[in-house]
Amino acid sequence: MRSPKDFFAPLALGAPAPVREIPVTPSRMIHFFDPGNEKMAAKVPDIAKKVDVLLGNLEDAVRADRKEAARAGLVAIAKANDFGKTQLWTRVNSLDSPWVLDDLVTLVTEIGDKLDVIMVPKVEGAQDIHYVDRLLAQLEARAGLTKPLLVHAILETASGVANVEEIAGASPRMQGISLGPADLAASRRMKTTRVGGGHPGYLVRTDPTGEDLTEGRTTYQQDLWHYTVARMVDACAMHGILPYYGPFGDIRDVVACEDQFRNAFLLGCVGAWSLHPVQIDIAKKVFSPAPSDVAWARKVIAEMGDGTGAVMIDGKMQDDASVKQCRVVAELADALAA
């Protein structure tokens, strides 16, 4: 891990950032709230006890005439509360908006010591991260902050997806990347109007010859986001930062939400956004490894001794690679229990 002062060092534009390990602080659910909504803001201290990350949202879903109220609300909430181990993040407005400069200047100056991560929407390429990185360095130096703010990018434009590797490695401040399926669908001109999740029309059908190996189930819905999540996970793993699934908009469909979150978890994501309290428990369940998986992982690790060679456990072959997989599960369980 680089020392905090490295974050203030001038960044050579275009130079690849060194690979580093981000400490695994739990961030299974990034819980969104509108800081300008007084009813929602009043619930924040209670919600903070149930979530890993609280995020004061200033961007989409906040009306243009409520942007300043949201920003001021977040400053007031951060100053009035100590959320303990729960991280406080914000999503600022996009870099092409008239609000983002005031968002960054105000938040870093007023509550830079309370914020952990700044989520930047609609990131198109490394240049967007370089801009935010430089501006943060200037604002932090002026405010006398000693803990550097980290940056999280939302992957939600076609060009962002094309540039995801360079985005992930654009700055030592990079903490992670979230899939933004709603904006991404619009940017790609996909034909779904849903916020995340699947689509009943995106499916595979069994062969019309009548051969049915599926015990009567003739169609399966496919994961619309598989390709992007997999690309994002690879880019994040390559640069030692964390990948997340973003929003699931159909709050009532808890089953589909859990399925979507689980697909992302199995592919390597460490968390997802929660847009409603009902999604907090779903994310907690899905992004914490199941006790039976943890027990199995520990058994393989124990029986593999120094981690080399091969053993048979319950009829399954285990070797150096499977022990590495098992360590991922066991280490996650340990980090969540700490």
Cite the annotated binding site by residue number.
91, 156, 183
- Closer to ligand GLV at the Cβ: 251 or 295? 251
Question: Least distance in Å: CB of 275 to Mg ion?
Answer: 12
- CA–CA dist 183, 225 (Å, integer): 13
Q: Shortest distance, CB of residue 61 to ligand GLV, whole angstroms?
A: 9
Min. distance of Cβ 184 from Mg ion in angstroms? Answer: 8
Distances (CA, A) of 47 to 11, 20, 32, 69, 277: 37, 32, 10, 21, 8
Q: Residue 30 CB, nearest distance to Mg ion (Å)?
A: 13
The distance from CA 279 to its chain's CA centroid, rounded to whole angstroms, is: 15
Q: How far is the CB of 83 from ligand GLV (least distance, A)?
A: 23
Residue among 186 and 313 whose Cβ is closer to ligand GLV: 186
Nearest CB to Mg ion, comparing residues 73 and 181: 181
User: Residue 245 region, left (φ>0) first, then alpha (ψ -120 to 50), else beta?
Assistant: beta
11-19, 27-35, 132-140, 179-187 -> range binding ligand GLV (CB under 6 A): 179-187
At 147, which amino acid appears?
K
Q: By CB under 6 A, is residue 246 in contact with ligand GLV?
A: yes
Q: Choose the contact partner of 56 out of ligand GLV, Mg ion, none; CB within 5 to 8 A by kind.
A: none
8 A C-beta contact, residue 99 and residue 58: yes
From the list 156, 172, 232, 284, which residue makes contact with ligand GLV (rule: CB under 6 A)?
156
The 154-193 contact track toward Mg ion, x by CB under 5 A, reads: --x-----------------------x--x----------
Do the beta carbons of residue 234 and residue 260 sit within 8 Å?
no
Task: Write out the binding residues for ligand GLV, residues 258-277 only, by CB under 6 A.
Answer: none
**Residue 39, CA distances (Å) to 42, 44, 162, 253 in order:** 5, 9, 40, 24
Residue 8 is given by DSSP the state G
Q: Which is nearer to ligand GLV, 105 or 195 (CB)?
A: 195
- Tell me the β-bridge partners of 32: 55
CA separation for the pair 116, 98 (Å, rounded): 24
Q: Which does 197 bind (CB under 5 to 8 A by kind): Mg ion, ligand GLV, none?
A: none
Contacts of 306 (CB under 8 A, 6+ apart): none
Q: Is the Cα dihedral 192, 198, 200, 205 positive or negative?
A: positive
In whole angstroms, how close is the CB of 280 to ligand GLV at the nearest point?
Answer: 18
- For ligand GLV, the binding residues in 95-134 under the rule CB under 6 A are 121
**Nearest CA-CA partner of 79 in 41, 50, 117, 37:** 41
From the list 40-48, 174-182, 217-225, 278-286, the region that binds ligand GLV by CB under 6 A is 174-182
Q: Is 175 helix (H, G, I), strand (E, B) or coil?
A: strand
Beta pairing, strands 117-120 & 272-274: unpaired
* Residues that contact ligand GLV, how many (by CB under 6 A): 11
x-marked contacts with ligand GLV along 280-299 as a string, rule CB under 6 A:
--------------------
